[in-house]
Amino acid sequence: MERPSIAAQAFDRPGVRVRTLANIRWIAILGQFTTLLVVGLWFGYPLLWGSLLAAVGASVILNFGLSTLYERSDRMTGRELSLHLAFDLIQAGVLLFLTGGLANPFALLLIVPITIAATLLTAREMAPLVALAFGVLAIVWFWAQPLPWNGPPPEFPLVYRVGDVLAYGLAIGFLAVYLWMVSAEARDRARALVATEAALTREARMNALGSLAAAAAHELGGPLGSISLIAHSLEEQLGDDPDFGEDIRLLAAEAARSRRIMKELSTRAEAEDPFAVLGLDLLLHEVAESVKPARVPVRVITAAGQPMVQRSPELLHALNNLVSNAVRHAGTEVRLETIVTASEIRVVVLDDGFGFPPDLLPRLGEPMLGPSRSKSDSTGLGVFIATTLIERTGGRLSFSNRPEGGARVDVRWPREEFEVIDPEADREEP
């Protein structure tokens, strides 16, 4: 099973900075206190000042506590964040209970803590908050104090009051589910993109290592040449000396061996240029070699006259992911086939295993597939990385199961965009 990196795991539990949470609560406190002053003093409505100010004061005390106990850069996640949002929900419920319940226009603010929770918490952490919200909703509907009217309060029909509580309940439930699904999908995609960038960074480092080897070979070529010349001269003069002859011959041999190693490194670095142009068949043979030793053979089947393509890190890593996945699940072999037409270049990865799980097949290419009804424990991250990298090269992937058994992955590119015209083919003869 693929394990996400530490950086990617941060997207699972993003949390919120304590400073941000405190600032949001200060805004709520200011709004609540201003509303009480306007309604109670400006409009002259009778309010339960002691209880209302105590509810607002509790939020003030909690916010001062956050500023004292936490650093400015600290983040709050999980159960701790759930408790703070539960406090905000209960505090809003107390204010509504004392000022008319759902008949109060500000009852809509019950949705705010649930909205914040849906974007920051997991489903398991958010479920108790949603249940608490419904509990608060029921209490303020049944037992809330009447609106503080100057005269007799208006009587709302039962149908209206039932519709009112149903509307709030549906809004809380819908927003909680919708925002959680959107946020979870965004976190999954962000985590998968982090893994994709990490894979590309690893490829770039390997290519940079090849360039470094070429540079080292170039820089060390001069000193090694001088050492070889001096060793050869000493060997001619003192090669038969009983005391130093053997050491001088060894020195000459090691100098020659070092020059051969430097030359091989330089040649290999040039051959592994990620922007080199080569035939598609050669590229597929390189991909097949990169997964060896493999538990099953990987065969490359191509026809003559394969198009020239760019050997990029994205393409190599994507095809390697697809072939490695096929090797893990194949029965006896994996085949790489090419289909080239006037308008399209296609690479087909075939294996003879059990195929893709039917319940995951429509979702392949998504960042995180979640649990499957099959026995597969794959997260789908590797397939998503391959899909993202192939799309960067201008291609598209499709997944299916073969009628005779096994999985099939088709990678398609528009030929006019993917094929690279060999510069040597158009160069005129001198």
Quote the CA–CA distance of 329 and 198 in Å, as a whole number.
Answer: 25
Q: Rg (Cα) of the chain, in Å, rounded?
A: 35
Mean pLDDT over all residues of the chain? 81
Domains of the chain, residue spans: 6-197, 203-271, 277-418
pLDDT at 374 over 70: no
Quote the CA–CA distance of 400 and 351 in Å, as a whole number.
Answer: 11
Residue 5 is predicted with a pLDDT of 44
Quote the CA–CA distance of 269 and 275 in Å, as a whole number.
Answer: 12
Show Cβ contacts of residue 204 under 8 Å, excluding neighbours closer than 6 positions.
313
Return the closest-CA partner of residue 393 out of 429, 337, 347, 358: 347
pLDDT at 77 over 80: yes
- Give yes or no for a contact between 282 and 317, defined as CB atoms under 8 angstroms apart: no
CA 207: distance to chain centroid? 24
* Token pair of 43 as six digits: 């409009």
Is residue 417 classed as helix, strand or coil in its secondary structure? helix
Residue 426 is predicted with a pLDDT of 46
Query: Which helix (H) or strand (E) segment is 245 a member of?
Result: helix 245-271
Show Cβ contacts of residue 227 under 8 Å, excluding neighbours closer than 6 positions.
251, 255
Quote the CA–CA distance of 89 and 10 in Å, as a whole number.
Answer: 27
**% pLDDT > 70, the chain:** 79
**193 vs 85, more confident:** 85
pLDDT at 395 over 80: yes
CATH of domain 277-418: 3.30.565.10
CA 268: distance to chain centroid? 33
Show Cβ contacts of residue 157 under 8 Å, excluding neighbours closer than 6 positions.
none
**257 vs 93, more confident:** 93
Residue 367 is predicted with a pLDDT of 67
Express each pLDDT in 112-157 by its tens digit: 899 888 888 888 888 999 999 999 999 999 899 887 776 777 777 8
pLDDT at 288 over 60: yes
Per the rule left: phi > 0, alpha: psi between -120 and 50, beta: everything else, 101 is left
Express each pLDDT in 146-192 by its tens digit: 877 767 777 778 888 888 889 989 988 898 888 888 877 777 766 66
Residue 387 is predicted with a pLDDT of 85
pLDDT confidence of 311, banded at 50, 70, 90? confident
Express each pLDDT in 213-265 by its tens digit: 555 655 666 676 677 777 777 777 776 777 777 877 787 788 777 767 766 66
pLDDT at 205 over 90: no
Which one of 145-154, 255-264, 327-336, 368-377 scores highest in mean pLDDT? 327-336
- Give yes or no for a contact between 131 and 169, defined as CB atoms under 8 angstroms apart: no
